[in-house]
């Protein structure tokens, strides 16, 4: 069957507007499209394929499991899920793990846990979830409601209630809002979709203190910042603050759908038998890949590469900004870096992405004004340099046009 980009408009719901390019093969940091054109992948399918495409250890884990056992449901547990959960417990603050298939589902579980925890221990009045403007937590009705971007909830009302939004990094607003009615404070240690804004250490520390003071759970959404992306296995390690609950997905499965909610033993106890579930969550295929992926992502050599390539990427983007005048600086952590576009290009970050694609490099936006670069965590110095050269060629062309 011949399929092209035109087929998309004929058979798919129009909620996406994908590029004209259809990649058909990937290897390491590179992709090839239907016409055989090569791209350096500095996007990783939105910070997902952290070990690049078709990593031999992930391919081996997936094919081995594919020949053994695919699915059981939660009526029976399975070895890959137990191994992955044990590894997550070993390597993080968490004592307990719940598996699901996406970031939104991991957050849905976290928010439901927070409500259940507070209502069981303190009563139903304690149901306020405190969240932040520009946050992104997924696209289910509960997660768009907790997320702080009105464009994602418009037209879907009535929305779930009991959610308060505050400005991110505003310590005073946080102090004023958290109280006896609060069941959870949920935040991304660095806002991803919202434009690559890291939390200030004071903001994170204050959130922890206030949650302790008012018996609320501190939930970190590390769907995007987790799994080595920021240079430590999870970003919270760099703030020296531990959450009660953490959601993750994206990089965990390296491209295979896999999400997880991590929790302390105390918090986890609230999701008692029968209170929550997922048919595919903890699926053997996903967990076998996740286990192989986590072993690689937590290696000292890989995390050292993230930090070294982060410096290279920051310098490279600053250089492109200085030479073309298109970018005004860099921000972010590890290999999740944002470069705000110059005043004249406000609202047009997507044009930079398209120019890069014409020159064989794939990057992303984070909102309309920020170019986002999220390369594979194991990318070589030479491949990253080549990707930056191609991006600069695209930017120079835009400026000249």
Ligand X SMILES: *Cc1c(COP(=O)(O)O)cnc(C)c1O
The window from 54-62, 131-139, 163-171, 364-372 that contacts ligand X (CB under 6 A) reads 131-139
Residue in the shown chain whose Cβ atom is closest to ligand X: 103
x/- mask, ligand X, residues 302-341, rule CB under 6 A, reads ----------------------------------------
Contact between 290 and ligand X by CB under 6 A: the answer reads no
Report d(CA 337, CA 335) in Å as an integer.
6
Applying the rule CB under 6 A, the residues between 246 and 285 that interact with ligand X are 249-250
Q: Tokens at residue 33, please? A: 């499209």
The window from 149-157, 186-194, 336-344, 364-372 that contacts ligand X (CB under 6 A) reads 186-194
Contact between 108 and ligand X by CB under 6 A: the answer reads no
Sequence-ordered strand ranges (E) for 10-122: 23-27, 30-33, 38-41, 96-100
User: Which residues belong to the active site?
Assistant: 136, 221, 250
Q: Which of residues 113 and 388 has its CB atom nearest to ligand X in the complex?
A: 113
Q: Which of residues 107 and 324 has its CB atom nearest to ligand X in the complex?
A: 107
Nearest CA to 368 out of 393, 338, 325, 399 is that of 338
Q: Which residues contact 90 (CB under 8 A, 6 or more apart)?
A: none
Q: Which of residues 107 and 298 has its CB atom nearest to ligand X in the complex?
A: 107
Q: In the set 78, 102, 278, 324, which binds ligand X (CB under 6 A)? A: 102
Nearest CA to 244 out of 230, 225, 265, 259 is that of 265
| Element of type H or E holding 165 | strand 163-166
Q: Which of residues 28 and 160 has its CB atom nearest to ligand X in the complex?
A: 160
Q: Which of residues 6 and 151 has its CB atom nearest to ligand X in the complex?
A: 151
Report d(CA 166, CA 77) in Å as an integer.
40
DSSP strand pairing (361-362 vs 38-41): parallel
Please state, as a whole number, how many other Cβ atoms lie within 10 Å of the Cβ of residue 26. Answer: 17
Contact between 103 and ligand X by CB under 6 A: the answer reads yes
User: What number of CA atoms fall less than 13 Å from residue 258's CA on the CB side?
Assistant: 28
Distance in Å, CB of 84 to ligand X, minimum: 17
Contact between 234 and ligand X by CB under 6 A: the answer reads no
Distance in Å, CB of 131 to ligand X, minimum: 11
- Whether residue 376 is preceded by a cis peptide bond, meaning omega within 30 degrees of 0, is no
Contact between 138 and ligand X by CB under 6 A: the answer reads yes
Contact between 148 and ligand X by CB under 6 A: the answer reads no
Q: Which of residues 41 and 108 has its CB atom nearest to ligand X in the complex?
A: 108
Report d(CA 180, CA 194) in Å as an integer.
29
Measure the N-to-C terminal CA separation of the chain; round to a whole number of Å.
Answer: 39
CA separation, residue 182 to residues 51, 130, 231, 289, 293 (Å): 39, 7, 32, 37, 36
Applying the rule CB under 6 A, the residues between 353 and 392 that interact with ligand X are none
- The size of the interface with ligand X (CB under 6 A), counted in residues, is 15
Contact between 221 and ligand X by CB under 6 A: the answer reads yes
Q: In the set 41, 108, 188, 369, which binds ligand X (CB under 6 A)? A: 188
Q: Which of residues 320 and 335 has its CB atom nearest to ligand X in the complex?
A: 335
Report d(CA 128, CA 255) in Å as an integer.
34
Contact between 223 and ligand X by CB under 6 A: the answer reads yes
Phi, psi of 52 (to 5 degrees): 80, -175
Contact between 137 and ligand X by CB under 6 A: the answer reads yes
Q: Tokens at residue 307, please? A: 């930090």
Residues that bind ligand X (CB under 6 A): 102-104, 107, 136-138, 188, 192-193, 221, 223-224, 249-250
């Amino acid at each position: 069957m011949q399929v092209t980009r035109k087929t998309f408009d004929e058979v798919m719901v129009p909620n996406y507007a994908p590029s004209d390019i259809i990649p058909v093969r990937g290897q390491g940091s590179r992709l090839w499209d239907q016409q055989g054109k090569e791209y350096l992948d500095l996007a990783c399918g939105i910070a997902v394929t952290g070990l690049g495409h078709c990593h031999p250890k992930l391919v081996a884990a997936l094919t081995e499991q594919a020949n053994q056992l695919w699915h059981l449901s939660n009526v029976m547990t399975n070895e890959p899920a137990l191994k992955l959960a044990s590894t997550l417990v070993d390597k993080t603050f968490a004592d307990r793990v719940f598996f699901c298939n996406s970031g939104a589902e991991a957050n849905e579980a976290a928010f439901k846990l927070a409500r259940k925890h507070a209502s069981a221990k303190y009563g139903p009045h304690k149901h306020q979830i405190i969240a932040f403007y520009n946050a992104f937590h997924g696209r289910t009705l509960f997660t768009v409601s907790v997320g702080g971007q009105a464009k994602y909830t418009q037209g879907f009302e009535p929305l779930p209630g009991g959610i308060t939004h505050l400005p991110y990094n505003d310590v005073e607003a946080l102090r004023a809002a958290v109280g006896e009615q609060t069941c959870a404070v949920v935040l991304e240690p660095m806002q991803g979709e919202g434009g690559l804004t890291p939390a200030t250490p004071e903001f994170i520390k204050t959130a922890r203190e206030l949650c302790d003071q008012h018996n609320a759970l501190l939930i970190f959404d590390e769907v995007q910042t987790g799994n080595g992306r920021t240079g430590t296995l999870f970003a919270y390690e760099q703030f020296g603050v531990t959450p009660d609950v953490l959601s993750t997905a994206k990089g965990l499965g390296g491209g295979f759908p896999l999400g997880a909610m991590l929790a302390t033993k105390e918090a986890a106890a609230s999701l008692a038998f029968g209170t929550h579930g997922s048919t595919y969550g903890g699926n053997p295929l996903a967990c076998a890949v996740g286990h192989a992926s986590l072993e690689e992502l937590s290696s000292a050599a890989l995390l050292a590469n993230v930090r070294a390539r982060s410096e290279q990427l920051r310098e490279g983007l600053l250089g492109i900004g200085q030479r073309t005048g298109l970018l005004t600086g860099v921000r972010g952590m590890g290999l999740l870096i944002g470069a705000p576009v110059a005043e004249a290009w406000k609202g047009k970050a997507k044009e930079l992405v398209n120019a890069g694609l014409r020159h064989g490099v794939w990057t992303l936006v984070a909102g309309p004004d920020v170019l986002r670069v999220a390369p594979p965590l194991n990318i070589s110095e030479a491949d990253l340099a080549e990707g930056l050269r191609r991006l600069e060629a695209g930017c120079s062309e835009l400026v000249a046009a």
